[in-house]
Amino acid sequence: MNIAILGCGRWGSFLGWYACRLGHKVLLYGRENSANYQALQSTRSNEYLQVPEAIHLSSSLAESVDFAEWIIISIPAQNLRRLGQEVAVCNPKKKIFILCMKGLEASTGKRLSQVMAEETGSSANMAVWVGPGHVQEFLQGVPNCMVVGSENIEVTKTIVEGFSSDLIRFYYGQDLIGNEIGAASKNVIGIAAGMLDGLGYGSLKGALMARGSREISRLVRAMGGNELTVYGLCHLGDYQATLFSHYSHNRRFGELWVSGQKFDKLAEGVSTLQALRLLSSRHEVALPIAEALNATIFEGRNPKEALLSLFLRTTKFEF
């Protein structure tokens, strides 16, 4: 299978390495002026891996789209609409798009599959690939489970068949809404977990996991998805990698935030917060964890006060 990876950062470069390992023909695309692409061009490596010689590097989007039957996208979520507009002029019909991203469009609250479908004109061949796993651990041979979901079950099955291995075991996603909302919002819960770690309240992460899952499950149900999806790999199943791992960008962002330090890498949960607030208002679903984080990050509220207030709310029945 000819596969193009759009995005050559940490996850995109790993996906290229992984697809090549499985015997696919791979093209890895990056913008010519990006630091990630320039590093790969000059050394064929980054801080995580060595890119195999069999992988073709390209800064031409038209070449990348023309080359591939399957197009994997792994870029910051807020850049997807712009990329979708550029892809749309490259005759992408009949291509299968796989979004290996976890986020929501901050300005609209839209799921990433919706954003990409709007720009390319079709959702029939659109899939998402989400779930737990860190590049560093995969490269050490540590296996994990992930999920692929699409509105077209045949597309889902084809992708799973093409990427299953002893390193990643896939499940078929049955709820695109739940998979996308769950995957995006677990990054928000990860920021809260990092703040608790930074404040020395790590033991509260158990309660955070339980209440965070309930909070997001209510939103998924209100949006027309299956609330049980949140308890699968897209959300709860990804908590260890996001709420506890030292590799987690979102957890690290929260940990540094409470000590007044800046995190210099992408933490998708920050922009997802804004999208969740839109969805909370639109669907009339209370999201107290998201509101507390928003007050801390965007409104200047003391993080200790904001987070501890969540655990001092009025007593009520758990379910």
Judge whether 124 and 96 are in contact, CB under 8 Å: no
144 beta partners = 168
Best CA proximity match to 80, nearest among 121, 42, 111, 45: 111
What is the biggest distance separating any 2 CA atoms in the chain, rounded to whole angstroms? 60
- Given the residues 102, 110, 186, 205, select the one marked as catalytic: 186
User: In 10 A of CB 91, how many CB atoms?
Assistant: 11
Neighbours of 112 (CB within 10 A): 23
Clarify whether 304 is annotated catalytic. no
Neighbour-count burial of 311, counting CB atoms closer than 10 A to its CB (0-12 exposed, 13-18 middle, 19+ buried):
exposed
| Integer Cα distance of 142 and 136 in angstroms | 9
Q: CA-to-CA distance for 27 and 259, rounded, in angstroms? A: 41
Which residues carry out catalysis?
186
